């Protein structure tokens, strides 16, 4: 009887750990922000029947180091300027993605996103202000 509880417990530990590892394998690469939704309305912002386009291009580049951590670079390019920030990320068991830029000592240096959905080519995540980013793998 004790063996059954041990096996069931081990199964739940292995499957919960593998969820972060699977997401971390998927997240590696370059992701382009293609649209965003503002919660709680849950509606995509449309312009002329098309999802909202940005006046700038935004990308996240993730490079995983281990099961749930890695490096990230965020880049925003406009017609006048280009801005890039590098840092680290941590995937947590409750589908939270925490990105820390620089030393993480200034306001805005730490951002937490809740992963809403993902697969190999698509990623949706909500920031702490309720904005849902829709990303496509490049």
Cα separation of 138 and 44, whole Å? 21
User: Into how many domains does the chain fold?
Assistant: 1
Q: Please enumerate in sequence order all residues whose Cβ is within 8 A of that of 135, keeping only pairs 6 or more positions apart, or say none.
A: 31, 32, 33, 34, 60, 122, 123, 124, 125
CATH number at 133 reads: 2.40.128.280
* Average pLDDT of the residues of the chain: 77
Residue 53 domain boundaries: 2-137
pLDDT at 41: 46
HSE-CB at 68 with a 13 A cutoff on CA atoms is: 14
pLDDT of 87 over the 80 cut: yes
Q: Is 25 exposed, middle or buried (0-12, 13-18, 19+ CB in 10 A)?
A: exposed
Extract the tokens encoding 11. 């199964």
The alpha carbon of 62 is separated from its chain's Cα centroid by a whole number of angstroms, namely 9
Answer for the pair 122, 29: CB distance below 8 angstroms, yes or no.
Answer: no
pLDDT at 103: 73
DSSP 80: S
Reported as a single tens digit per residue, the pLDDT across 53-84 is 446 688 999 998 887 899 999 998 877 788 89
């Amino acid at each position: 009887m004790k063996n059954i509880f041990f096996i069931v417990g081990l199964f739940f530990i292995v499957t919960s750990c593998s969820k972060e590892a699977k997401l971390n394998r998927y997240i590696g690469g370059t992701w382009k922000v293609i649209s965003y939704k503002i919660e709680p309305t849950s509606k995509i912002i449309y312009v002329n029947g098309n999802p909202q386009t940005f006046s700038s291009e935004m990308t996240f580049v993730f490079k995983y180091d281990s099961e749930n951590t890695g490096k990230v670079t965020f880049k925003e390019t406009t017609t006048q300027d280009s801005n890039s920030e590098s840092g680290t990320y941590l995937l947590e068991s409750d589908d939270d993605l925490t990105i820390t830029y620089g030393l993480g000592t200034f306001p805005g240096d730490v951002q937490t996103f809740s992963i809403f959905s993902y697969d190999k080519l698509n990623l949706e995540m909500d920031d702490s202000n309720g904005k849902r980013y829709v990303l496509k793998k490049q």
